[in-house]
Each structure stands twice: as structure tokens, then as C-alpha cells.
Amino acid sequence: MRRNWIVGAVAVLLLSACVQTATVRRIVEDSNRAVAEEAFLERMDGPVTFDGKEALLERVREIEAYLGRAPRRPRTTAALRIRQGVLLVRAGEFARARMAFGEAQPASLVTERDRVLHAASGVWVWWNEIEAAGDVPPPSRRSYEAKLRALDRALEREAPRNLVLREFFEGLRVQIVVDKLRAHADPASEAGRAALLAEWKAARSRYRSIFDEKDWRWIELWAEKEPPPGTEAHDLWAERIAEIPLERLRAYDAAPRTLELLDDTLEELNLTPPERSIP
């Protein structure tokens, strides 16, 4: 009898206090699913849908509701604010995204991902806003340069070691450089051509440097044309493909595309790249 009474009391007390973890885990899973469905899966078959945006905003509201009622723990709050910012960027709510990132206290951010996202959020939100704005005149040359400097500072300060994360932001940097060159570079003059080529080379060199030799072997393998199924070559290829580290695959896939973007841009500016970045 005594035992039952005590066990019951302990059990009731324990079980009454186990809601936060489950809620946060659900928020993480649901928000990831919303972004993935909108960014990866939907896009496989068509453009982003209105429902996709609604799903993103619903997750934003869930985070807000949780933060409103949960006990204040700075690290939890900061991490969820970053997540909220990411969702809002994806949903095209750029002003609110800036607010969300702004509310995340840097001192409470404890992972390299959140720290670099926070540090680079100004540039990232700006860039997404530019691209979402549609066919409008490009920012000024000075504006591009200011944002690139800000991004460089953020990446220098936080220096993420995770390859996918580094590629994410270095790829963002390449996008900005490309857009700047397309918007403002004019190779009509000798000086213009020289400046253009120098900036182009710097951007390419910087981007390539985030991958080491081992990474390049994987990149080349992933970019290799698939041999005809049923052949010995195909079996060998498939066997090697299966060994690619999946957690880096996204970066490996992006590398040749990003370098090709740089090469194409140079050609479309009437210049020939010194050599193609990917043979």
C-alpha cells in the first residue's frame, strides 16, 4: 500500500512535467517538413504553392505560441527565433524575418549554424528580398559591395566548419557576385574587362577553396554521367556513388553548378574563362 501510494505520487508528478520537450521536437520536425516540402519536394514538380507559404507561416505561429507560454530560457528562445527567421524568409515575409533574427540574442546562440545564420542574416534576408522582388532595377554597385563585405565579415567571424553550411553561404556570395557582374560589369573598355576578370577570378578561387581534394573526387564522381544500366561500368559507378557521404552531398551537388554559373556569366559578358572550372 505504502509503495503504491508513493509510486503513484512520483509518477503523477513526473508525468505532469514532460510537455516542453515534446512540443519543441514537434516544432523542429514540422518546420523542417514545411521548408523541405516547399523548397525541395514541391519544386520537383512545380512552383511554390500558396499552401506552402501557409504551412510555413503556421509553423511560425506555433513557435510564437510556444515562446509565449514556455518558461524563458534564453538558448531555447534564441534557437527558435533563428528557426522562425528561416521560415519567414522562405515565406517571403522579409520584415518579420529581420525582426525574428534581431530578437535572437547572439550571446545565447551556441551552435555554429545558428551563429553564422544570425551573423549573415542581414545579407541573406536582403538577398532573398532582392530576388523575390521580380524584374526591378538591380541594386547599385555600392550596395552590392557593402553587402558582400558584410557577408565576408560574418563568415570570417563565425567560420563554419560544416561543409554544407559553408557552401550555403559561399554559394550565396557567388550569387551576389554574379548578379553584380551581370548588372554592372561592362567589358567594353580594357579597364572594365580587367576589373571584371579580377573579380570573377577572386570569386571562383574563393568558392573552390572550400573544397579539399577528397571533396573534389566526390564532386567529380557525382557529376559524372551515369553509365548505361546493366553494364559493368554502371555497377562500379553505382557502388562508388553509394559511398558518397550523404551529409555533404548537397554541397557536392551544388559545386559544379555554382562554378558553371560563374563561367557562363563570364561568357555572357563576352569574355572567355581562362579555363572551364569543371572540365
Residue 277 found at the interface with another protein (CB under 8 A): no
Residue 96 found at the interface with another protein (CB under 8 A): no
In whole angstroms, the minimum distance from the beta carbon of 42 to another protein comes to 9
In whole angstroms, the minimum distance from the beta carbon of 4 to another protein comes to 11
Judged by CB under 8 A, the chain residues 176 through 235 that form the site for another protein are 178-179, 181-188, 226
Residue 135 found at the interface with another protein (CB under 8 A): yes
Residue 107 found at the interface with another protein (CB under 8 A): no
Judged by CB under 8 A, the chain residues 239 through 258 that form the site for another protein are 241-242, 246-247, 249-250, 253-254, 257-258
Closest to another protein by CB, 2 or 214: 2
In whole angstroms, the minimum distance from the beta carbon of 205 to another protein comes to 20
- At residue 99, what is the residue type? M
28 close to 83: Cβ distance less than 8 angstroms: yes
Give whole-number Cα distances, 121 to 60, 64, 108, 111, 216, in Å: 17, 19, 16, 15, 29
Judged by CB under 8 A, the chain residues 146 through 165 that form the site for another protein are 160-162, 164-165
**C-beta atoms surrounding 63 within 10 Å:** 21
As to burial, measured by CB atoms within 10 angstroms (0-12 exposed, 13-18 middle, 19+ buried), residue 46 is exposed
Give whole-number Cα distances, 70 to 62, 73, 99, in Å: 12, 8, 20
# chain residues binding another protein, by CB under 8 A: 96
In whole angstroms, the minimum distance from the beta carbon of 216 to another protein comes to 18
Binding mask 1-30 for another protein (x = CB under 8 A): -xx-xxx-xxx-xxxxxxxxxxxxx-xxx-
Closest to another protein by CB, 128 or 220: 128
In whole angstroms, the minimum distance from the beta carbon of 214 to another protein comes to 18
Give whole-number Cα distances, 34 to 11, 52, 164, 168, 271, in Å: 36, 7, 20, 19, 42
Closest to another protein by CB, 37 or 152: 37
Closest to another protein by CB, 165 or 195: 165
Out of 120, 154, 171, 173, the only residue in the binding site for another protein (CB under 8 A) is 171
Q: Where are the alpha helices (H) located in 133-270, listed in sequence order?
A: 141-158, 163-184, 190-208, 213-223, 232-241, 246-268
Max CA distance (Å), the chain: 95
- In the block, cell 547599385 appears at 140
